[in-house]
Structure 1
Amino acid sequence: MTQTTAKLTIPDLAAKKAAGERLVMVAVGEVLTATWAARAGIDIIGVGDSLGMTLHGHENTLAMTVDQMIMHTQAVRRGAPDTLCLVSMPYGSYATPDMAVTNAVRMMKESGADAVKLQLGREGAHIIRAVADAGVPVMSHVGLLPHRVHMLGGFKTQGRTAEAALDLIRDARAIEDAGAIGLEIEAMPYEVGKAVDKAVSIFTFSIGAGAAGTCQLLNGYDLLGAFDTFKPKFAKRYANIAETATQAFTAYAEDVRAGTFPDDDHSYRMKPEEAERLAQLLAEEDST
């Protein structure tokens, strides 16, 4: 069943937060799942560089490029043209203000996204400000920052102590002050995520922070059970596409090897008179 919802705008995000409404976001990276998400009435699609892991097989997000993120976002746009779309700026694409502005503008122009997202706190407030001042709707990120996976020693929960939580809240406030329109809250205790959300007036979305934030994010390939290499604690599987797909491929291979596929129901056939005529023409050709 297809759900229809009006496409959200950037101003809607702050209004939804002020009204206490909950929004739904999924992260996908190609046309099929984007189409399914749009049919389901998902509010926001995030084209996150986590697709480096789910779709490209990398061990983390760091290998993705601006060109790849643009390509994936274009595909999502074709599948969900009327859904608000957020694209992640990949690692290394916003190291300086000039670089960030150049890449952010290019990604907006070429990908069809409605906003970009990077992963900076207080230390990168000047970069966020530069992107915002260039007229690009920009969001940032607090908590577990996948672009700093090596510095963090892996994908680890953040904000476990009061002092660490306060540090995240300070980052969130700096992100808002720099002109960002929103921020992601990732992998922290619910109490901390709630405090981060309360500390800012801008739109927030969370993954791995309980029900904190205005909007809930899940990776689409996690919730579909399509990506089964590992399952984060916070990911809920609503289907098991990987198992279903494996069973389908297995059944197909068995049918081909047994000679039961393709059968008459899945083959094109000539009209009997044309088949007879072809046999006659071949016989005449072979006799010459």
Structure 2
Amino acid sequence: MRTSITQLQKQASAGEKLAMLTCYDASFAVLCEAAGTDILLIGDSLGMVIQGRETTHAVTLAETEYHVACVARGCSKPFILADMPFGSFQESKEQAFRNAARLIAAGAQMVKLEGGAHMVETTRFLVDRGVPVCSHIGLTPQSVYTFGGFKVQGRGEEAAARLVAEAKLLDEAGSGMILMEAVPSDVAARVTAAVKAPTIGIGAGLDVSGQVLVLYDILDLYPGKKARFVKNFMAGATSVQGAIEAYVKAVKAKTFPGPEHQFPAEAPK
């Protein structure tokens, strides 16, 4: 039986760390399930690691549907989370519901929306209509042009307080999970303490409910410069499944991320 959001919330409340990985096809879904991964995210990162694009912006809803269905067919236990692609939910609440419903029909159990306070009403609208939502705050790759690049978010007390306030609003609107990307560890800890929903970090330190990384990053398949929060779990592994198992074990044991994968509150001078 597939893991439910209620089960994930109970695990997080009991102090068990949640292990999430991106996944885009049935074959990798089989391996991720066998390795004990709790959550599989069909991320719009597929635009970069699968399609070879520079950003996530060109990924379409139809492409996401296709990959959600592939992953869902490849496993029976992990929780299935799907990204809402750029342009598929920002126009209106009604547009967001219409497109989220397509991803749920394809096999997703929850959809992920990038954005903070401006996504509160959309989140509430979806949750009230039976669509579970994961909120994504901090560095939101769909807004990378607005940020001027892939930059750490939440540095400085004003920015940190704003991030905490946004998380609380999204939590109150019904978010079932909150993902934070590239934020200082102490800020992520403040968010986790302020909300009821489990928090997932990617470059957000240890004091969150769980971790997520891009599958192709932990397998050292994606070329180019790696983000600070990435760790190559293929190093020392004898198989792909062994590398995934090492990642899950490290998350559960709280040995990943290490200090070298975290962002300090102040930018290096």
TM-score, normalised via structure 1 length: 0.79
- The 5 Å alignment of 1:140-179 reads 140-179=135-174
In the other structure, the counterpart of 2:200 is 205
In 2, Cα distance between equivalents of 1:35 and 1:75 = 11
SS at 1:217 equivalent: strand
In the other structure, the counterpart of 1:104 is 100
CA contact (8 A) 2:25 2:71 kept: yes
CA contact (8 A) 1:190 1:209 kept: yes
In 2, Cα distance between equivalents of 1:97 and 1:74 = 24
In the other structure, the counterpart of 1:21 is 16
Amino acid at match of 1:52: G
In 2, Cα distance between equivalents of 1:43 and 1:138 = 17
In 2, Cα distance between equivalents of 1:62 and 1:103 = 16
SS at 2:30 equivalent: helix
SS at 1:136 equivalent: coil
Q: Which runs of 5+ in 2 are unaligned?
A: 240-269
CA contact (8 A) 1:185 1:213 kept: no
CA drift at 1:48: 0.7
CA drift at 1:197: 0.9
In 2, Cα distance between equivalents of 1:58 and 1:177 = 35
Q: Deviations over 1:62-120 (max 9, x none)?
A: 111110001011111122232111001001111110100101111101x2111111112
In the other structure, the counterpart of 2:263 is none
In the other structure, the counterpart of 2:181 is 186
CA drift at 1:175: 0.6
- The 5 Å alignment of 1:109-148 reads 109=105, 111-148=106-143
In the other structure, the counterpart of 2:251 is none
SS at 1:118 equivalent: strand
SS at 1:103 equivalent: helix
Counterpart check, 1:38 vs 2:24: no
In the other structure, the counterpart of 1:49 is 44
Q: Deviations over 1:181-205 (max 9, x none)?
A: 1110110111111111111011111
Question: Once the two structures are aligned, what percentage of the paired residues are identical?
Answer: 37
Deviates more, 1:12-21 or 1:186-195: 12-21
TM-score, normalised via structure 2 length: 0.84
Q: Which runs of 5+ in 1 are unaligned?
A: 1-5, 245-288
Amino acid at match of 1:160: R
CA contact (8 A) 1:120 1:128 kept: no
Which structure has the bigger radius of gyration? 1
In the alignment of these two chains, the number of paired residues is 236
CA drift at 1:13: 2.2
CA contact (8 A) 2:24 2:68 kept: yes
SS at 1:100 equivalent: helix
In 2, Cα distance between equivalents of 1:99 and 1:191 = 36
In 2, Cα distance between equivalents of 1:14 and 1:35 = 24
In 2, Cα distance between equivalents of 1:81 and 1:112 = 11
In 2, Cα distance between equivalents of 1:78 and 1:227 = 25
In the other structure, the counterpart of 1:196 is 191
Amino acid at match of 1:101: F
In 2, Cα distance between equivalents of 1:12 and 1:185 = 21
Backbone CA RMSD of aligned residues: 1.6
Q: Deviations over 1:246-276 (max 9, x none)?
A: xxxxxxxxxxxxxxxxxxxxxxxxxxxxxxx
CA drift at 1:137: 0.8
Deviating beyond 6 angstroms after TM superposition, the runs of 4 or more aligned structure 1 residues are none
In the other structure, the counterpart of 1:234 is 229
Whose helix proportion is higher, 1 or 2?
A: 1
